[in-house]
Structure 1
Amino acid sequence: MAELVMFARLLLSPLLLILSSCGPGGTTYSNRVDSNGHDVLYSKARVKDGVARFECKASDSGSCHYTLYPDACAGKADCTLAPLQRFSVARGQTRQIAGLDAFRVCVGTDARALRADCAPATDDSKAP
């Protein structure tokens, strides 16, 4: 039975990938942090035709704090390019921004600055 389930997953994975590329276009970013089934942070961003829509679905602090970096910085902690934008969206609210195209989304529950790899810019946990 386990082999049958694994075989079905193997066959369905490429099909789902193909079907997802047949959608209406655009790019979706999803960031979710949960603890014991509770969403500490849940954010979605969708970009289509140069318009980005940011939705703060859940945040323990009451807001999702976004930092957007150029796509060239993706995953690079030492990226020297400045963030494109920094802003907050209240839980349950959305914000639309026109003119955005290739960018990297970093989001957190507090207003601390985030590096291009989405880690906090300063690590306060090592302070005495």
Structure 2
Amino acid sequence: MSRFIALLQFLLALCGCSVGGTTYSNRIDSDQEQLHSKVRVQDGVARFDCVESSSGACHYTLYPEACSGKADCQLAPLQRFTVASGESHQVAGLIDFRPCVATTAAALAADCQPAAATKAR
């Protein structure tokens, strides 16, 4: 059913109809690392912009919305992918997800903290 809704939203967008959207912005600015990422979800299409990353890439892990902020969530990530600094990546059909982003490819838990640190708590 969720794929049908995403497809319907996508088709409406092609016709010029928009049903709102959500934007996520992440920033890390420390002596060790810099990261600036924007994620825009609208009309069934998510656009991931890696604006800047000190490592040269933004590493995304997408979790179901039900896991939002829960370090002990047992649901698997929906997707993992990397976007080069200054580049964008689009995914159609994503709904009800939360993005986690980091400068390294280390596994992130659903609370967007490194998985090893989450297990140590």
The answer to whether the aligner puts 1:34 opposite 2:29 as a matched pair is: yes
After TM superposition, the score normalised by the length of structure 2 is: 0.78
In structure 2, runs of 5+ residues without a counterpart are 1-18
Asked if 1:85 corresponds to 2:79, the answer is yes
What is the aligned counterpart of 2:99 among 102, 105, 111?
Answer: 105
Runs of 4+ in structure 1 over 2 Å off: none
The structure whose Rg is larger is 1
- The equivalent residue for 1:11 is none
Unaligned runs of 5+ in 1: 1-23
2:62 and 2:55 mapped to 1: Cα distance? 20
Q: Which residue does 1:94 correspond to in 2? A: 88
How many equivalent residue pairs?
100
Secondary structure class of the residue paired with 1:61: coil
Aligned-residue identity in percent: 66
* RMSD between aligned residues: 1.8
With the length of structure 1 as denominator, give the TM-score of the two structures.
0.74
Deviation (angstroms), 1:35: 2.6
Structure with more contact order per residue of length (Cα contacts < 8 Å, sep ≥ 6): 2
